[in-house]
């Protein structure tokens, strides 16, 4: 005999208590919405497209292959003992996660306006749920990465990737990237709700950002007069940390990593504060 | 007065509503000419889309155009150390981007021509070929900014390095024609893609992806001399490669691309245009019916 549903869950219609802890508790309470909202974002991604699922493969493997052809084959970049393909794939994993998650986190409020009109969902959940396509691409690129590691293991007899205690760095890097994405999402999604050009601006920004981040090239190739850019770019440190976690060669520069961490935590905390405050104001208006 | 003027208009325009007899190149071209005044209208309208509803207004145009060039110059030039054959890398990148952007921007905008004017296409008749042509106009804003930047950059390098990198030579006179060649290629291709974009939403994403790759496979960020000699013929088959290289040659007085490559690029553009013209006219009716 199971207890009646009414006895199991109690719904109270009351204004949300202010403060971070109340928000966190509320988010936890509504956690099951994440599944629904994430699925919605994924469906949105492939909606009204002709090629449908081919879109999964085109943006993963093809850019890597063409970049290898150009930057290794023509320009002749060095990647310090690791095959360039592997070097590029490792850098691509956190970067593509960052870009895709960022694009969708920024659109989170605009996309779910219809849902918000019908159901009460804490808005903080929306940018979090919009991480789904990013995580999906992370998985796809991880598959590419693992298969290329296996390929080089068989072809060259060495896996190049060394797992050990330093591999924690990779996980730390991915967590930091997630926090950075959420920070940006909290700040920018309210703006993107009204300004339709927001995502086109972001597309422009991320192409330049890609160049400024050591993915195609190694951070050690950057001449000293440009080191300030590496310092201001948190993604540079996170990608270095991710690479260190897998290859175990050069650990990330401690000063730069700390700066990146501080910038990221500030963006995350500030974004959360801005986002929840704005939500409260909106409720009163 | 205006009324009297209307009465005494010298040549009354005659409108004939007749059955469409299918594809006739000359009839189509004549009809296009008849409606030519619409080109300006659509071009102006498309141009305004660039900064309407943005906070910075027209300032976006130079920012959008020049930031990738400036960042690219630092990354490709001083981090990757791509050789630039005795010219400052920034200058090389500005010049090759100029010829590339005369292709890339106009093509992307021209392809969106029908899609952006959906509401008009479904309501009234005019030769639809006007749309891909006129909608190329916003794509010209970027190259114009680059030209301004280039004219400022040349005296700057004259002062700092004492060299005029671009000299007044007979070859320089060809430069505008080379830019027109890349515009022509852009138009030929948008005859195909503008119909695709009107039908499928992902055609635009596909085009954006494709353009990114095409730029890497064209000698824009690197000189063609970096490509191993045995594969160079393959690169010359890309119609944009001779155009970009010829533009650099005309600006810096370098070696011209081989004659066969230039002829191939020209032939490819003309064939793409002729087939595109036919494709567009045979498909436009069916495609616009489904909008």
Q: Min CA distance, B193 vs chain A (Å)?
A: 15
Q: What are the Cα distances from residue A277, in Å, to A16, A27, A105, A261, B199? A: 12, 15, 18, 24, 43
pLDDT tens per residue across span A181-222: 999 999 998 888 877 677 778 888 898 999 999 999 988 888
Predicted confidence (pLDDT) at residue B88 exceeds the cutoff of 80: yes
For position B2, what pLDDT does the model report?
47
pLDDT tens per residue across span A237-285: 999 999 999 988 888 888 999 999 999 999 999 998 888 888 766 654 4
What is the pTM assigned to this prediction? 0.84
Dig out the tokens for A22 from the structure.
Answer: 């109340």
Calpha distance A91→A68 (Å, rounded):
13
Q: What are the Cα distances from residue A143, in Å, to A114, A135, A245, B8, B260? A: 35, 12, 17, 76, 44
Rounded to the nearest 10°, the torsion over CA A196, A202, A204, A207 is -150
Q: Is A220 on the interface with B (CB under 8 A)?
A: no
Q: Min CA distance, B9 vs chain A (Å)?
A: 46
- With a CB cutoff of 8 Å and minimum separation 6, the contacts of A46 are A52, A53, A55
Q: Is A224 on the interface with B (CB under 8 A)?
A: no
Q: Is A53 on the interface with B (CB under 8 A)?
A: no
Q: What angle do CA B262, A74, B182 make, to 5 degrees?
A: 30
For chain B, list residues whose CB is within 8 angstroms of any CB belonging to chain A: 53-55, 64, 67-68, 71-72, 74-75, 78-80, 82, 200-203, 205-206, 209, 212-213, 216-217, 222, 226-227
For position B5, what pLDDT does the model report?
46
Calpha distance B173→B68 (Å, rounded):
28
Bigger pLDDT: B53 vs A180: A180
- Nearest chain B Cα to A216, which residue? B80
Helix axes A234-247, A168-194, angle to 10 degrees: 150
* B214: number of Cβ within 10 Å: 18
pLDDT tens per residue across span A101-140: 998 899 888 888 888 888 888 888 888 988 988 998 899 8
Predicted confidence (pLDDT) at residue A80 exceeds the cutoff of 80: no
Q: What is the mean pLDDT of residues B176-182?
A: 95
- Give the 3-state secondary structure of residue A250: coil
For position B15, what pLDDT does the model report?
72
Q: What phi-psi label fits residue A48: left (phi over 0), alpha (psi between -120 and 50 degrees) or beta?
A: left
H/E element holding A134? helix A132-156
Q: Is A77 on the interface with B (CB under 8 A)?
A: yes
Calpha distance A189→A193 (Å, rounded):
6
Give backbone dihedrals phi and psi of A275, rounded to 5 degrees, phi first: -65, -50
Bigger pLDDT: A78 vs B178: B178
3-state percent helix, strand, coil for chain B, nearest multiple of 5? 75, 0, 25
* B74: number of Cβ within 10 Å: 19
8 A C-beta contact, residue A127 and residue A186: yes
Q: Report the residue from B53, B80, B82 with minimal CB separation from A196.
A: B53
Q: What angle do CA B91, B99, B95 make, to 5 degrees?
A: 5
Mutate to test the interface with B, among A75, A201, A221 (most CBs of B within 10 A): A75
Calpha distance A37→A129 (Å, rounded):
6
* Total residue count of chain A as it appears in this document: 285
pLDDT tens per residue across span B62-76: 888 899 999 999 999
Predicted confidence (pLDDT) at residue B127 exceeds the cutoff of 90: no
Q: Min CA distance, B247 vs chain A (Å)?
A: 21
ipTM over 0.95: no
8 A C-beta contact, residue B243 and residue B183: no
8 A C-beta contact, residue A176 and residue A98: no
Q: Do B74 and A226 touch (CB under 8 A)?
A: yes
Q: Report the residue from A51, A58, A74 with minimal CB separation from B222.
A: A74
8 A C-beta contact, residue B214 and residue B100: no
For position B168, what pLDDT does the model report?
83
> Nearest CA to B101 among B67, B72, B65?
B65
Calpha distance B63→B91 (Å, rounded):
18
Helix axes A132-156, A33-45, angle to 10 degrees: 70
Mutate to test the interface with A, among B76, B80, B229 (most CBs of A within 10 A): B80
Q: Min CA distance, B127 vs chain A (Å)?
A: 27
Q: Is A141 exposed, middle or buried (0-12, 13-18, 19+ CB in 10 A)?
A: buried
Calpha distance A122→A134 (Å, rounded):
21
Residue with tokens 């000189």: B223
pLDDT tens per residue across span B14-44: 777 766 656 677 888 888 888 889 999 999 9
- Give the 3-state secondary structure of residue B178: helix
8 A C-beta contact, residue B236 and residue B261: yes
Mutate to test the interface with A, among B64, B71, B79, B83 (most CBs of A within 10 A): B79
pLDDT band at B4 (very low <50, low <70, confident <90, very high): very low
pLDDT tens per residue across span B149-159: 999 999 999 99
For position A284, what pLDDT does the model report?
46
Dig out the tokens for B90 from the structure.
Answer: 């920034």
């Amino acid at each position: 005999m199971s207890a009646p549903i009414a006895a199991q869950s109690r719904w109270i219609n009351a204004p949300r208590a202010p403060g971070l802890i109340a928000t966190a508790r509320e988010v936890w309470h509504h956690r099951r919405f994440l599944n629904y909202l994430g699925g919605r974002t994924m469906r949105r991604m492939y909606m009204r497209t002709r090629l449908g699922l081919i879109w999964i493969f085109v943006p993963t493997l093809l850019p890597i292959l063409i970049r290898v052809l150009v930057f290794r084959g023509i320009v002749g970049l060095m990647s310090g003992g690791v095959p360039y393909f592997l070097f590029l794939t490792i850098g691509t994993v956190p970067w593509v996660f960052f870009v895709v998650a960022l694009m969708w986190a920024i659109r989170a409020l605009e996309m779910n306006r219809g849902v918000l009109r019908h159901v009460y969902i804490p808005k903080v959940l929306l940018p979090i749920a919009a991480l789904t396509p990013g995580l999906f691409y992370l998985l796809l690129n991880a598959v590419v990465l693992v298969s290329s590691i296996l390929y080089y293991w068989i072809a060259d007899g060495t896996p190049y990737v060394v797992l050990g205690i330093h591999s924690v760095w990779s996980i730390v890097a991915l967590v930091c990237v997630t926090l950075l994405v959420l920070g940006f999402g909290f700040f920018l999604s309210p703006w993107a709700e009204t300004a339709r050009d927001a995502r086109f601006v972001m597309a422009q920004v991320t192409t330049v950002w890609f160049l400024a981040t050591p993915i195609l090239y190694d951070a050690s190739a950057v001449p000293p007069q440009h080191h300030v850019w590496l310092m201001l770019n948190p993604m540079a440190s996170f990608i270095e940390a991710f690479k260190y976690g897998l290859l175990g060669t050069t650990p990330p520069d401690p000063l730069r990593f700390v700066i990146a961490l501080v910038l990221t935590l500030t963006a995350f905390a500030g974004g959360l504060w801005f986002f929840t405050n704005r939500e409260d104001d909106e409720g009163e208006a | 007065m205006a009324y009297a003027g209307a009465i005494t208009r010298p040549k009354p325009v005659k409108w004939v509503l007749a059955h469409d007899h299918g594809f006739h190149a000359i009839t189509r071209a004549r009809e296009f000419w008849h409606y030519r005044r619409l080109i300006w209208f659509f071009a102006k309208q498309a141009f305004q889309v660039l900064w309407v509803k943005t906070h910075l207004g027209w300032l976006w145009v130079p920012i959008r155009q020049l930031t990738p060039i400036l960042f690219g110059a630092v990354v490709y030039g001083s981090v990757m150390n791509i050789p630039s054959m005795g010219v400052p890398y920034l200058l090389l990148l500005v010049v090759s981007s100029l010829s590339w952007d005369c292709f890339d921007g106009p093509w992307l905008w021209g392809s969106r021509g029908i899609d952006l004017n959906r509401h008009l296409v479904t309501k009234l008749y005019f030769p639809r070929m006007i749309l891909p042509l006129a909608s190329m106009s916003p794509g010209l804003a970027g190259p114009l900014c680059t030209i301004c930047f280039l004219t400022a950059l040349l005296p700057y390098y004259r002062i700092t390095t004492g060299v005029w990198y671009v000299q007044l030579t007979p070859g320089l006179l060809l430069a505008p024609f080379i830019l027109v060649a890349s515009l022509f290629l852009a138009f030929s291709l948008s005859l195909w893609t503008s119909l695709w974009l009107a039908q499928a939403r992902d055609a635009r994403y596909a085009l954006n992806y494709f353009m990114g790759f095409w730029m890497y496979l064209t000698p824009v960020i690197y000189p063609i001399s970096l490509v191993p000699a045995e594969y160079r013929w393959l690169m010359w088959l890309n119609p944009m490669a001779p155009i970009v290289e010829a533009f650099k040659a005309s600006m810096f007085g370098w070696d011209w691309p081989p004659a066969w490559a230039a002829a191939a690029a020209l032939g490819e553009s003309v064939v793409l245009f002729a087939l595109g013209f036919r494709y567009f006219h045979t498909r436009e009716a069916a495609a616009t019916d489904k909008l």
